[in-house]
Amino acid sequence: MSHTDPPLSFASTMVREDLTARQIFERVKANPARARFGFGDRLAIVNVDFQQAYTRPDLFPNTAYVSDPDQIAHVNAISAMARSHGMPVIWTRVCYKPDGGDAGVWGTRTNTPDSLQNIKFGSDRHAFDPRADIRCEIDLVFDKRMPSAFFETPLKSYLTFHKVDTVVVTGGSTSGCVRATAVESLSHGYRTIVAEECVADKHESYHFANLTDLQLKYADVVGVAEVKAWFEARHAR
């Protein structure tokens, strides 16, 4: 381009439409032409942050959320199916040391009793929801400090040892730690599945907007029935 040519200028091409985030997700989900990553041969169930700070609105109404009332029952069911096939089940939760210093810059925006960095080890907010069927003698259970279940945790090496090629992500929040875990899962080369009824968020707009983005770019967003059907098909072999 010559120095005399006018600078290029384009009008905005951003799509604007009067649809809710849920409606957009349903449209994307209904597209039969959308290619999928699919399931591989060995999967792991990665259950992100089923701790009371995020699952118990009766105890922590400012931070907890429920999208599907049967979320934890669904998670327990597919986790049991994974164990029965000798496949890994992983549970994560977030907590920080007494001064919150290991929350890093993520913990600097607010400082209230409900703030992230004030989830202390051993506190009620750190405790797993008692409805979660965690088998500590079998499952991998660990604390994390950042959104992704992969960041500075033993998860990647654990999946490598167990020859996992597919990661099923559950938990919350859809727009936060679930999304971060799914993106990093794909980045590590795993087929990544998000079980729709098994993830939750505070607001349906965030929830469905992020499910849309995950479906379009980083994961297969499928019904929990499809995850169960995959296990059942393996059992029938």
CATH hierarchy code of domain 37-236: 3.40.50.850
* CA–CA dist 148, 206 (Å, integer): 17
* CA–CA dist 194, 35 (Å, integer): 15
Assess whether 177 carries a catalytic annotation: yes
| Residue 237 confidence (pLDDT) | 65
| Residue 132 confidence (pLDDT) | 98
H or E element in which residue 210 lies: helix 204-213
Per-residue pLDDT in tens (0 to 9) along the chain, 237 residues: 556 777 888 999 998 899 999 999 999 999 877 889 999 999 999 999 999 999 999 999 999 999 999 999 999 999 999 999 999 999 999 999 999 999 999 999 999 999 999 999 999 999 999 999 999 999 999 999 999 999 999 999 999 999 999 999 999 999 999 999 999 999 999 999 999 999 999 999 999 999 999 999 999 999 999 999 999 998 676
Of 95, 136, 177, 198, the catalytic one is: 177
* CA–CA dist 29, 131 (Å, integer): 30
> Which residues make Cβ contacts (< 8 Å) with residue 120, sequence separation at least 6?
95, 96, 97, 98, 126
The DSSP call for residue 8 is P
**Residue pair 64/52 in contact by the 8 Å Cβ criterion:** yes
pTM for this model (two decimals): 0.94
The DSSP call for residue 179 is H
For strands 166-172 and 43-48, give the pairing.
Answer: parallel
DSSP bridge partners of 192: 167
Domain range annotation of the chain: 37-236
Tokens matching residue 82: 């994974």
Q: CA 222, 224, 228: angle at the middle one, nearest 5?
A: 115
> Which residues make Cβ contacts (< 8 Å) with residue 81, sequence separation at least 6?
227, 228, 231
Q: How many CB atoms are located within 10 Å of the residue 168 CB?
A: 31
| Residue 2 confidence (pLDDT) | 59
* CA–CA dist 50, 132 (Å, integer): 7
131-146 burial string, b = 16+ CB within 10 Å, else e? ebbbeeeebbeeebbb
Between the alpha carbon of residue 111 and those of residues 98, 103, 108, 179, 218, the distances in Å are: 13, 12, 7, 24, 33
Evaluated on CA atoms 152, 213, 232, 197, the torsion sign reads: positive
* CA–CA dist 72, 76 (Å, integer): 6
